[in-house]
Amino acid sequence: MTHLSKQVALVGVGYSDLSRGDAPDPRRLTLQSCLAAISDAGIAAHEIDGIFEYLHGATESPRTSWVQRALGIENLNAYANIYADGPSGLGPPMTAVTAVASGACDVALTYRTLPQREGSTGAIGAAPAVLNGPDQFTGVYGHAPGILANYALKKRRRMHEFGTTAEEYGQIALSARRWSALNERAVQRQPLTMEDYLSSRSIVDPLLLLDCDYPVNGSCAVVVTTEERAADLRGRPVFVDAVAWGTGTGADFVFADDLLYGGSIACSRRLWQCSDFTVDDLDVAGLYDGFTHLPIAWIEALGVCTFGEFGQWVDDGRSIGPGGVLPLNTSGGMLAEGRIQGIGLLAEVVQQLRHECGERQVGGARVGVVAGGGSNDCGAMIVHAG
Amino acid sequence: METQPKPAPEPDEISLPYWEAAQRGQLMVQKCASCGRGQFPPEPICRHCQAADPPFVEMSGTGTIYTFAVYGRSFSPAFEVPYALALVTLDEDPGVRLMTNIVDSDLDQLAVGDPVKVTYEQRGEWSLPQFRVAGGVAR
C-alpha cells in the first residue's frame, strides 16, 4: 500500500557526458540526458505530457518549454521550473511523482542541467556598496560566498556538539572516491587518502576543499510514470514507495532553529510515516553530498544511527563503502562522479535497484533511499524494486 | 589588491528600527509582546505566534559564540583576510542568533562557547553591530 493516490514508477534514467574544463552548451547536455532517459524508458518523446526541472541561476539550464519545443511535444499537462527553494535536483522527480500520482500528467520527464561554471567562486568580484534584503544581516559581514561559510559554520558546530573529528568528515570524501573508481562515468576517480583529505586547501576554516562537491558540466534525467503504464514498457520499473519534503522550524539557510540538521529530521520522520519500509530495509542510499556535512546529517536524521554517532557508526568508512551495511552514493556522488545536484543520486539508486551497476553493484539491492538538500530545502524518497 | 569599502546595510521599512538603534549604540531585537519570544532578523510578524509587529527591545549586547568560520582566502576585495564570521546567541534569549564578525580578538584562540560583547563599526551612514571576545586581548 502506498500513500500516493496512484502507484508511481521510475522507468528511465539518462546522463549527458560529464566533463570538466570545456563548456558544452547546456541545451546539448539537456537533450543528451533527456533523450537517453526517454530511450531507456522505451517511450516515444511525444508521449511525455509533463516536464519538471530545477535551476538556481538564470541561464544554467534550458527551461521546460524549450525542452518541450525541442522534443516536439504537442502540449504539457503539468510542468514547473522549480527555482531555488526545493530539494535541489531531486525536486523535479519528487514533484513529478506527485503530479503523476494525482493524475495531473501521465509521463513526466525530469532533469537537472548544471554547467561547471555555475556558482563558481574562483573570481573575486567587486564588493557591492550597499546590501539589502537578507544580505543586510549576512553579506555585510563578508558572508560571501555564503554557501561555503554555511557549511564551515555547520561543521564547526557539529565538531563542538558531538566531538565529530575531521577524519570522520573525511570518511565521506574517501568513500566517494572508492565508489567513483568503480564508475566509468565519474569525472573524479583519483584514489584519496586521509592525508590527502586533511591536507586539502582550506576554503573557509574548517571547511576543506575536499568537503565540497566536484563541479562538472552535466545533465541527468529521470522519467516518471504510473505503475500501470510502466507495465507496458520493456524495462524493469523501480517503484516509488514514499516521497516527503521537509524544511524544519525557522526555515532559513543561516538562521534556522536547527543549524546542523535543518529540515532533514522532519523530512525523515514524514518519510518513514509514509513508507511501507523501515530503516532496516535499506540496501542502498543516495544522500545529497554537496558538502560532506550533509550525508552525515541525513544518515542520522533517517535513523540509520543515532544523533551524534555517525563517527562510530561509519567504522572508518566500512559502513558506507563497497560491501558496507549501507552503501552510500555508489556512483561517487556529487563529490566524485560530479555535481549534478541530487537527481544523479536518484538515477544511480534506480540503476542499483535494476542491478545494472556492474563492478559496483550492491548485491540483492531491493530498497533504496534518496535525499536532497539538507538545510531548509529537504526532500527524500523511498524507492524499491517491487 | 586595492581595498574597497566594506558594504553598508540598506535598511528597509521592517529592519529600520534595528539599524536606527545600532546608530544610537543599542542592540535591539524583536521580542513578541504576546508570547515573549524573540526573533532575528526582524520580521513584520512574530514567527512564533503571528502577533503583528513585535516590538524592538534593547539587549545587553552580551552573548556566546554558537559557531564560527575563518576566511583565510579572500573572496571579496572589501574583506581583508583572515576574518572570522560567527553566529552568536544572545544571553537574554539563546534562541536568537545573529551573524557577526568577531573583531578585535585573537582569531587563533577563538572557541565555540566564548563569551562575546557587542561593539559597533561604521558602514556608510549606518553603524553595524559587531562582536568581540569579552575580556579578550585586543590587538
Secondary structure of residue A189 in the 3-state scheme: coil
Cβ contact, residue pair A145, B99, below 8 Å: no
Q: Which of B19, B72, B99 sits opposite A141 (nearest CB)?
A: B99
pTM: 0.96
Query: pLDDT tens across A299-329, in order?
Result: 999 999 999 999 999 999 999 999 999 999 9
The three cell numbers locating residue A169: 568528515
Contact A317, A178 (CB under 8 A): yes
Same domain, B119 and B55: no
Under-70 pLDDT residues of chain A: 1-3, 121-125
Cβ contact, residue pair A138, B71, below 8 Å: no
CA distance B99 to chain A (A): 6
Query: pLDDT tens across A120-163, in order?
Result: 755 566 778 999 999 999 999 999 889 999 999 999 999 999 99
How open is the CA angle A218-A223-A225, to the nearest 5 degrees?
165
* Strand pairing report for B27-31 and B8-9: unpaired
Question: What ipTM is given for this predicted complex?
Answer: 0.96
Same domain, A153 and A183: yes
Q: What domain range includes position A186?
A: 146-214+241-386
Instruction: Give the length of chain A.
Output: 386
Cβ contact, residue pair B66, A204, below 8 Å: no
Q: Is the dihedral of CA A372, A374, A375, A381 positive or negative?
A: positive
Q: What domain range includes position B96?
A: 60-139
Same domain, A280 and A382: yes
Same domain, B52 and B101: no
Same domain, A49 and A170: no
Confirm whether A295 is domain-assigned.
Answer: yes
pLDDT at B2: 53
Distance CA A218, CA A24 (A): 9
Confirm whether B81 is domain-assigned.
Answer: yes
In chain B, which residue's Cα lies nearest the Cα of A137? Answer: B99
Q: Looking at beta carbons, which residues of chain A come within 8 Å of B102?
A: none
Mutate to test the interface with B, among A138, A140, A252 (most CBs of B within 10 A): A140
Write the CATH number for B104: 2.40.50.840
The helix or strand, by DSSP H or E, that contains position A148, with its residue range, turns out to be helix A146-162
Contact A246, A14 (CB under 8 A): no
Among residues A285, A303, A271, the alpha carbon closest in space to that of A346 is found at: A285
Those of residues 255-314 in A touching chain B at CB distance below 8 A are 255, 257, 259
Q: Is residue A222 exposed (0-12), middle (13-18) or buried (19+ Cβ within 10 Å)? A: buried
CA distance A186 to chain B (A): 29
Average pLDDT, rounded, for chain B: 94
**Domains: count for chain B:** 2
The helix or strand, by DSSP H or E, that contains position A379, with its residue range, turns out to be strand A378-384
Same domain, A228 and A270: no
Same domain, A110 and A150: no
Distance CA A166, CA A148 (A): 16
Cβ contact, residue pair A149, B71, below 8 Å: yes
Contact A352, A330 (CB under 8 A): yes
Q: Looking at beta carbons, which residues of chain B come within 8 Å of A258?
A: none
Position B139 pLDDT exceeds 80: no
Distance CA A64, CA A27 (A): 11
Q: Looking at beta carbons, which residues of chain B come within 8 Å of A293?
A: none
**Domains: count for chain A:** 2
